[in-house]
Structures are given as structure tokens and as C-alpha cells.
Amino acid sequence: MTRPSTVSDARRGDPATDPPAPGPGTVRQRGRQPRPGRGGVLAIFLTPALVLFLLLVVAPILVASYASLYKWNGFGLPENFIGLDNYTRAFQDPTFRGDLWRGFVLVLLSLVVQLPAALALAMLLNQPLRGRAAYRLIFFAPYVLSEVTTAVLFDLVFSPNRGLGDAIATWLSADAGTVFADPDTVLYAVFLVVSWKYFGLYMMLFLAARQGIPKELSEAAVTDGASAWQAFRHVTLPLLGPTIRISVFLSVIGTIQLFDMVWVLTRGGPIHSSETMAVTMYEYGFRRFEVGYASAISIVMFLLSLVFALFYQRIVLRRDTAGAITNQGGPR
Amino acid sequence: MTTYLSRRTLLGLAGAGAGACLLSACGDDEPSDPNAPQTINWWHIQNTEPMLPVWAALANEYKAAHPNVTLDIQPLENEAFKAKLTTATQAGDPPDLFQSWGGGVLKQQVDAGLVKDITDDVKPWIGGLLPAALEPYTIDGKIYGVPFDIGMVGFWYNKDLFTRAGITAAPTTWTGLLDAVRQLKAAGITPIALAGKDKWPAHYYWSYLAMRVGGVGALQKAVDDKNFDSPDLVAAGDRLKELVDLQPFQKGFLGAAYGTPDGQAAAMGNGGAAMELMGQWAPAVQASSSTSKKGLGDKLGFFPFPTVDGGKGATTEVFGGGNGFAIGKDAPAATADFLKFLLSADNQRKSAQTGAVLPTVREAATAIPDANGKLLAETLASYTGFQLYLDQAYAPALGSQINDSVAELVAGNKSPAQIVKDITQVAKTV
């Protein structure tokens, strides 16, 4: 009983090195022991994580989905059951529908502008270049700042009349002081700030992935007469696939949950032009005390993220995660 | 196996303990004896000069006289306070003594049983306060909070800039105000500073216009009938649109906050705009957010919100409110006594002398240091009607909707007739 089960498990297949056993019966018995033993180990290692997960992830989801069925101001217990009214209300609310549209625009911009720019920069900084390390450091630095710090920083930069942005823009005879105050430009301004902060992360990911690709491959391609672009397009890019796919995943999930930056920069304004789902949820939950409705919004956010994550994992990331998720931890 | 089991039990116990602690918020029982050692958690929003040191000094004075009382003071910025208090009250754990504007928000806290009924505690001394000030804190005949400051919203203006634009007298009618705006613009001066990012400053315009057009009862009637879609309230929006169409606000006002270094108050304090519609605290915030930290000083003037031609409202009907303190449900016994101490005539004078507070205790009115404050206090003393800020008077959902809708009107993407429909829709659900 005191003998670790894994040891006997390992030795079962190698009778030559087995120490003399009291009898074949007992050995076989021990060989079957591992199952409950392994379950015990699993339970011990899983319990802390599981308790935290249940308490901090599953319980809030359950509470929020329960609250989303009530008209509830957050005080006392929810009593006024209204079924799915909060959900129908959300999908009729122009602000929330706007949130979905703006979320879509932000995702699209991230995929079309932010990630390609990060990729291009990573390829550039993979070339032998003077001061390469310094460039890498500078481009990665914004990622180290917190979202709030970043937002305050850009709030100052684009401060009308006083900010650096305005000073530079005036010099170019343009106007930068109102980018966050104009409903037509605010979303793009927010996107630029988000990109400024996060492109360094993706650049680093791409750079690391690029360095993991053996030089011989592109060298061979070039030897075979491929141009630099062809070598990139047909050798490097496919090999960067896993990293690109995971970056897209992170970018989309991050955009769905975007809150801090928007809240500090614009509070979703002017007139909801930069509002995201998370901002709308906060506005209703913590300003208007409509916790039931805010919960419904949070559940929609959760479901969107979940559905996206599941489909993406199942379909797009299938090859990358093969063995990790699809086969329960081992190539059997 | 035995060690495994005990380890698992241990982990389970630890988890359960942590969970229980989280769920009960690790609450502590407060003593009911005022002489027992106790801690008062005090959240106030006078987080800048000049009131911040006054509160701190008063707290120290009280602590010296009552060694058993510890004061845990948290000065918070207005917006941060609202967010933090919301979290605390939704968790059922309000601070012991905290900022309150009275009205609909206080009522919601009262309905949830989070605030103490202090009618009996304050009865002996509450008579010394202005009755108008106490109104927002009285719900169903019971007192749930005490104001230390009462004031009104009106136009604060830069006398120098008015002179430079050739305006000789402060406007008394809405048409006069629009003319003044045109004159200021012609002189190359930004007529009005407005914080569009914080939505509440804009709602002052619409509320005041509603009062001037429909009389002081118009807004109360709207909320009682759950119907804001009336000709008077649409007319109020039309008047506001007249002003907005003149483009009187500073550059980038839709993105400007109220109290930041490039916000509404700073624009006034730095002489960058000629006027703002703001409450009694305006001079203090102008000074603290201005580059010089001094504000406009003598150059600052005040005039009440003008009347509207053909409107039912009068200049003596005021829109405003005060600042006060409510006491949380679990507050220790000494809290009410400390509140009484803060509201003593002497301490109200100390607060009034800063110029940032208009005292609610009648006796302390003589301590108001500046002419504008005195003018404001006199206007307030001869009031014929009073309306609390709408975002405080009404339930938060309705108050926020009014703020939102007026912001949409000011930004020019909704019409006066549309916004009263939006507001009515929310009014019907709360």
C-alpha cells in the first residue's frame, strides 16, 4: 500500500528488472491498484483549482444567468421574474446593437490592421539591423503599461489645445484635439490606442515564432529560386500559422471584453460612439442600478466569447491543439 | 492514502473557510455603546483643497475629545465615490458615514435597508438648519441624512471677458443670454465651458429650462405621471437647441471631463471660457483645477439662470442641491454624535470660511467669505421653489437616462421631441 502505484505500473511491463516478488498473484494485484490511486492523486491536485474555478468562475456565471431573468436593482434578493425580457430588450436596444456593430468593427480592424502590422514589424526586426534589440524593446514597452495608464497618457496627448497631439497637428495644419470628442472619429482613435498598446505583444509572439523556424527552410527555398516574397509567402507564413491563429484568438477575445481603456478614455461617449458591451454593462449595473439587465448583457458577452472560443478551437485551432485537447492528453 | 485524505480535508477546509469569509464579507459587529472603542468609516468627496484639510482637522479634534473613537477617512473623487459606494451598497456593506445628495438615490438605499433612520438622533439640533436643505434627505417624514452644504446652480462668469465682449449687464432672459453668446463669439471668446464626457453638467441646462418654461412643478409632475412627453418639456429642449446651434462650447467639449486639468472647471479657472452653469462649488473647483491654483478671484461673477419669455417659471425658483452625510446601517453608536459635531455652528463656520461650502446651519451664514457666495445664499434664502438635481432626485435609471438623452441633444443627434420620448420610456419602467 505504501508503494507508489506508478512504480509498479512502470515495472509491470519489464519483468526482468522486477525484484523477486512473493508470488505472481500479489504482483498482479498490485498492478491493478493504480486506478484508485491515480484518481486520488488527481483529486488532490485538482481540488484547489476546481474549488477556485467553481467559486470564482462557475458560481458568478450561474448567479448572473439567474439574475438576468429578473428585473432587479441589485439590492436585496431578485423577486420580479420577467423571463427573457432582459434579453429581448438588449437586442432591441440601439446602444447594445451598436455595441455589437462596434465590436465587429474593432475585431475587423484588429485582424486587418493590427496583426498584419505586428507581423510586418516582427519580420523586419528579425533582419540583421543596427539597434535591433533597442527597437524590439521600444516596440514592446507599451504592452508593459496598464490599460488605465495608457488611457490617461493618450487622454493627455489628445487634450484639446494643450496636448502634444494638437501641437504636432497644428504644425501640420490639422486638428487632433477633438479625435476623442467627435462621434465620427472616436472609435478609430480608441482602436489606435488599443493597437499601440497591444501590437508589441503580437510582434513579440511572431518574432519568437519566426526565430523557431530553421533558417535552412527559407535558404533552401531561395536556393530553389524563390523570391524573398515567395519564401515568406510559401515557407515562413505557413510555419507561423499556429502563432497567427492563436494571436487572432487572443485579439478577438480581448476585443469582446474591451473595457478599461474605453472607460478611462471616453466612458463610451460621445453619445455611445465608442461604447463596448462591457461599458454598457457597467453603465447599467453600476450607474443605473439595473443589475438584472446588466447581467443579461454580461451573459450575452459570455456566450459570444464561449461560442467563438469553442468553434475556433474546434475548427481553426484543430491542428495546433491536436493531442492536447482532442485526445485527452496523449497520442493513444 | 491516509496522508492524501487528510491533505484533501485540509484543502477543503481552507477552501470552505475562504468561501465563507468571502460570502459573509468577514463582517464585524459594531458596538452599540458610544463609549466603547469603535471605528467610524467615513467616505467624503471633498478630496481637494480647501475642504480636505478642514475635514481632517475636525476629525482630529473629535478624536482628541473622544479617545475611544477611531476615524477611518477615505476622501474620494466624485465619480470614484459613486462607483465605490455602488459596489459597497450592492454587497450590503455600506460605510458608516458617507456622502449623500438625498433624493431618489438615497430613497433606493433606504428601501434596501442600508441607511439608518436618524430622525430621533438629530431631533434636538436639526431645527437650526435651513428647511430647504433638509428636504432631499427627508423620506416619508423620516430623516436619513444631514446636509452640511446647500446651494444652487447658476451661471458663473468671467467679468473681464464679458467686458471685453462689450456685455455690460448679466443677461436676465434666455434671449439675452443667446445675445451674450453671440457677442462673445464675435469677440473671439469661447462663451461657455461644458464637460460632455461627464454627462451631468449638460443636464443642468435642460432641467433649468424645463423649470423656466413649465414652472417648478413641471418636472415633479412629469415624474409623478411617468410622462415627460409634454409641450413644456419639448419646448425646454427647443430652447437648449437654440443655444447648442450657436456652437457656444469650447473645442472638444464632448470629450471633456469636469474636474480634470483640461476640463470644464479648468477652462473657466484659466480664463479660457466666459461662463459655465454650475453649482456653489464652482469657484473652489475652478481654483484647484486652474494652472495658477487660484482661479479667477474677483473677476468671477454669478447670475441666476435667466427666465424664458412666456415661461411659467421665475428667477426665484432654484435648481440645486447640497452635500450631506448619511449613516450606514451597521455604523457604530458614536457616528451620529460625530455628525452632530460636524454640523455645529462653529464647525459650519469653519467650513463656510473656505468658500467651498454654503452652510446649512442658519447661524453660520455670516461666515460666507465672498460676495458671490453671499449673493447665492441670499437668492437661496428668498427661494420660492426648489428642485433637486434630476440625476439625484430620481431613481438612478431615470436620472442616468436624462443625462444620456440631454447629452444626445447637445451632441445634435437627437431632437427635443425624441429625447422626451426616450426619457418617458424609462420613466414608465422604474
Beta carbons within 10 angstroms of residue A30's beta carbon? 18
Q: Where are the alpha helices (DSSP H) in A183-236?
A: 186-211, 215-223, 228-231
- Of the CA atoms within 13 Å of residue B333, those in its CB half-sphere come to 9
Question: Which pLDDT score is estimated for A36?
Answer: 58
Question: Which of A74, A270, A283 is nearest residue B411 as measured by Cβ atoms?
Answer: A270
DSSP B415-429: -HHHHHHHHHHHHTT
- CB contact (8 A) between residue B108 and residue A41: no
- Report whether the peptide linkage leading into residue B53 is cis, meaning its omega lies within 30 degrees of zero: no
Distance CA B81, CA B353 (A): 25
Question: Which of A48, A177, A267 is nearest residue B197 as measured by Cβ atoms?
Answer: A267
Question: Which pLDDT score is estimated for B32?
Answer: 65
Q: Is the pLDDT of residue A326 over 60?
A: no
Directed axis angle between helix B231-245 and helix B416-427, to 10°? 130
Residues paired with B326 in a beta bridge: B98, B145
Question: Which pLDDT score is estimated for A330?
Answer: 47
Distance CA A60, CA A65 (A): 8
What are the grid coordinates assigned to A302, written together? 459570455
Q: Calculate the CA dihedral of residues B219, B221, B227, B231 and round it to 10 degrees.
A: -70
SS3 B98: strand
Distance CA A303, CA A296 (A): 11
Distances (CA, A) of A166 to A157, A262, B237, B411: 8, 21, 33, 22
- Which chain A residues are Cβ-neighbours of B397 within 8 angstroms? 288-290
Q: What distance in Å separates residue B380's CA from the closest CA in chain A?
A: 30
Question: Which pLDDT score is estimated for B414?
Answer: 92
What are the grid coordinates assigned to B324, written together? 450631506
Each domain of chain B, given as residue ranges in start order, spans 38-150+321-382, 154-319+389-427
CA angle B22, B25, B31 (to 5 degrees): 150
- CB contact (8 A) between residue A287 and residue B8: no
Q: In three state form, how does the secondary structure of B200-221 look?
A: HHHHHHHHHHHHHHHCCHHHHH
CB contact set of B233 (below 8 Å; sequence gap of 6+): B210, B213, B214, B218, B222, B420
Question: Which pLDDT score is estimated for B337?
Answer: 92
Nearest CA in chain A to B413: A271
- How confident is the model over B227-248, as pLDDT tens digits? 999 999 999 999 999 999 999 9
Residues paired with B249 in a beta bridge: B192
Question: Which pLDDT score is estimated for A168?
Answer: 82
A170: confidence class by pLDDT, cuts 50, 70, 90: confident
Q: What is the per-residue burial (b if ≥16 Cβ within 10 Å, else e) of B64-97?
A: eebeebebeeebbebeebbebbbebbbebbbbbb
Per-residue pLDDT, averaged over A143-154, amounts to 92
- How confident is the model over B183-219, as pLDDT tens digits? 999 999 999 999 998 889 999 999 999 999 998 888 8
| Cβ–Cβ contact A58 with B under 8 A | no
> Which one has a higher pLDDT value, A29 or A281?
A281
Mean pLDDT over all residues of chain A?
Answer: 83
**From the candidates A1, A70, A73, A263, which should be mutated to test the interface with B, based on the most B CB atoms within 10 A?**
A73
Distance CA B400, CA B392 (A): 9
3-state DSSP helix/strand/coil % of chain B, to nearest 5: 50, 15, 35
Looking at residue B211, its amino acid is M
As a whole number of Å, the CA-based R_g of chain A is: 27
Pairing of strands B317-327, B385-388: parallel
Q: What distance in Å separates residue A44's CA from the closest CA in chain B?
A: 6
Per-residue pLDDT, averaged over B336-357, amounts to 90
- Of the CA atoms within 13 Å of residue B140, those in its CB half-sphere come to 6
Q: B-side interface with A, Cβ within 8 Å?
A: 1, 4, 7-8, 11-12, 15, 19, 22, 82-83, 86-87, 89-90, 108-109, 111-114, 196-197, 199, 250-256, 260-262, 272, 395-397, 400-401, 407-408, 411, 413, 429
The domain B38-150+321-382: what is its CATH number? 3.40.190.10
Distances (CA, A) of A299 to A279, A292, B414: 14, 11, 30
In this structure, whether the domain defined by A87-319 belongs to CATH 3.40.50.300 is answered with no
Question: Which pLDDT score is estimated for B115?
Answer: 94
Question: Which pLDDT score is estimated for A325?
Answer: 53
What are the grid coordinates assigned to B2, written together? 491516509
Q: Is the pLDDT of residue A266 over 80?
A: yes
Q: Is the pLDDT of residue B3 over 50?
A: no
Each domain of chain A, given as residue ranges in start order, spans 87-319
Question: Which of B108, B113, B199 is nearest residue A73 as measured by Cβ atoms?
Answer: B108
Determine contact, residues A251/A111, Cβ cutoff 8 Å: yes
Q: How far is CA B122 from the centre of its chain?
A: 23
User: DSSP state, B328?
Assistant: B
Tell me how many helices (H) and strands (E) chain B has: 19, 11
Q: Where are the alpha helices (DSSP H) in B226-311?
A: 231-245, 264-269, 282-289
Nearest CA in chain B to A287: B396
- CB contact (8 A) between residue A177 and residue B252: yes
Question: Which of A37, A44, A266 is nearest residue B255 as measured by Cβ atoms?
Answer: A266
- How confident is the model over B7-47, as pLDDT tens digits? 444 444 444 444 444 444 444 445 567 778 899 999 999 98
Determine contact, residues B79/B198, Cβ cutoff 8 Å: yes
Determine contact, residues B207/B389, Cβ cutoff 8 Å: yes
The CATH superfamily label for domain B154-319+389-427 reads Periplasmic binding protein-like II (3.40.190.10)
User: DSSP state, B344?
Assistant: S
Q: What is the per-residue burial (b if ≥16 Cβ within 10 Å, else e) of B321-356?
A: bbbbbbbbbbbbbbbbebbbbbbbeebbbbbbbbbb
What are the grid coordinates assigned to B395, written together? 431613481
Question: Which pLDDT score is estimated for A324?
Answer: 57
